[in-house]
Structure 1
C-alpha cells in the first residue's frame, strides 16, 4: 500500500489535465494529506486494440483526504483516440452533513460525455439537501444554457443525483473543444467552488445524524460500484480482475463490513 502524491497526476497529452490541476490547487487550503492507494492502482499501463489500430492506455490514480473529506480521488485515463477520462469524486466524512462532489469528463471515439453534480447521500432529507439545492440550482440554470442536454438518466439512478445535475453530450472537434473551454471548465470551477464553500462552513454532526449519513453514503457507494459505467472500458483496457479490484477497493471503497 502506498499513498498517492499530493502533486497532481501528469499524463502527456491528457485533455483533462487543467481540470485536475485546478481541483488540486483549490483543495490546497484544506491542508490535504495523502490517501492510501494500493500500488498497482497508482499507475497501470497496457496495450490494446487491433493489429491495424493498436493503442496504449494508462490509468493513474490521485487521492488525498482532509479532516472533513474522507477520500478525494481522481481516476485518470489516457488512451489517445480510444479514451480520455477524468472521474473526480469527493467523498465527505460522514461526521459532516455534506453531499458528494462528482465530475465525469469522458472523451470516447463518438464524442464527449460530461457530468457535474453535488450528489446527495440523503436525497429525501431537506436538512441535507435544501441549502445545497438553493445555491446549486441557479448555477445549473446558468451553466445549462450553454450546453446541450445529455438526455434522461435511468430511474434507478435518480436517488443519487440532484436537480442540479449538469449532464451533456458534445461532439468531437473544434466545436466541442470550444465548449469545453468556454462552458465546461467554467462550470467545473463554479460547481467545485460551491462545494468547497459548503466544506468550509460544515460543522460536526451528532452520532445519530452521523449514522444516517453513513447509511446514505453506503447506499451511494454500493450503487456506484455495481453500476459503474466505466467497467466495460476498464475491463477492455486492463482486464476484469484488475478492474473489479479497482472499482471496489479504490473508486468506491466505503463498505459496511
Structure 2
C-alpha cells in the first residue's frame, strides 16, 4: 500500500544529499515473534537536518505502517516533520497523519513556517482534522493545519498519495527558505524543545503497544528509546521556555 510513497521519500532524501547511517542489525530489520510480520528502518544523514528516520512495518494483508520523522539542525527552528500512515487490510481502513510539528504554539511561529501547510489543508479538505487526536494533546507538537484522515480504500489510493507528494514538496521548500532566514529561537531552545518532543512522544505514542504485540516488550523498549525517540533518555522533561 505504501511502497510507492516510501520510494518517493527515500529518493527525495537521496536527491538532496542524504546518506544512510548504519544501524545495528536488530534495529535495521526485525521479524515478528508471531512470524507474520517484519519491520525495516532507515536512518539518514541529510544536509540541514540532524536526524531523519524512516520506518516500514509490514504484517501481510493485516497491517502496513509507514512512519517518518525529521529533526532540523539546532540552528533552525523549523517544525519537525512527522508522518504516520497505517493501513488495516482486513477492515480496509486507513489512518493518516501528516504534520509540520511545531516547536512552540504561537502566532508568530505559525506565520513564519505554516503558509505552505495552510494552503495544503485547504487543497485537501478530505484530509482536514475532523476529530480529536487520541493519546496526544493537540496543543503540544501538533499544528492546527495537520492533515488527518480516518478513511478507506478511496482515500488510500487517491487522496493520500497526492497529499503525501505535495506535503513532502512543501516541507522541502520550507527547508530551502530557512537557509536564508535566521531562527527566532536560539539553538539552545531548539535543542531543548526537540528533546522534550522525544520525551513527550515516547510517553504518548500509541505505536508502543502495536510494536510490543509484534516484537515483544524488550525489543520495543529498546527500539523506542534508541531509534524512535533517542533523546527521551535525557532528563529535560521539566524544561520551560526561557
Into which bin does the TM-score normalised by the smaller protein fall?
0.7 to 0.9
Deviation at 1:246, TM superposition (A): 0.5
For 2:41, the equivalent position in structure 1 comes to 61
Aligned length: 230
Instruction: Give me the CA root mean square deviation.
Output: 2.2
Deviation at 1:115, TM superposition (A): 0.8
**Aligned pair partner of 2:170 in 178, 185, 194:** 194
Where does the alignment leave 5 or more consecutive residues of structure 1 unmatched?
A: 1-14, 49-54
Q: Distance in 2 between matches of 1:104 and 1:137?
A: 19
Q: TM-score, normalised by structure 2?
A: 0.87
**Aligned pair partner of 1:221 in 198, 203, 223:** 198
Contact 1:114 1:168 in 2 (8 A): yes
Q: Distance in 1 between matches of 2:48 and 2:58?
A: 30
For 1:44, the equivalent position in structure 2 comes to 30
Deviation per CA, 1:97-117, whole angstroms, max 9, x where unpaired? Answer: 211111111012442111111
Q: Distance in 2 between matches of 1:161 and 1:147?
A: 15
Alignment of structure 1 residues 59-98 onto 2, 5 Å: 59-98=39-78
Q: Distance in 2 between matches of 1:18 and 1:112?
A: 16
Matched, 1:248 2:225: yes
Q: Distance in 1 between matches of 2:4 and 2:194?
A: 29
Contact 2:82 2:98 in 1 (8 A): yes
For 1:7, the equivalent position in structure 2 comes to none
Say which SS state the counterpart of residue 156 (structure 1) adopts: coil
Q: TM-score, normalised by structure 1?
A: 0.82
For 1:35, the equivalent position in structure 2 comes to 21
Alignment of structure 1 residues 133-172 onto 2, 5 Å: 133-144=114-125, 146-147=126-127, 149=129, 151-154=131-134, 156-171=137-152
Deviation at 1:134, TM superposition (A): 2.2
For 1:19, the equivalent position in structure 2 comes to 5
Contact 2:56 2:65 in 1 (8 A): yes
Deviation at 1:73, TM superposition (A): 1.1
Q: Distance in 1 between matches of 2:27 and 2:197?
A: 22
Say which SS state the counterpart of residue 55 (structure 2) adopts: strand
Change over 3 Å in CA distance of 1:215–1:98 after alignment to 2: same
Where does the alignment leave 5 or more consecutive residues of structure 2 unmatched?
A: 236-242
Contact 1:148 1:169 in 2 (8 A): no
Change over 3 Å in CA distance of 1:185–1:86 after alignment to 2: same
Deviation at 1:195, TM superposition (A): 0.5
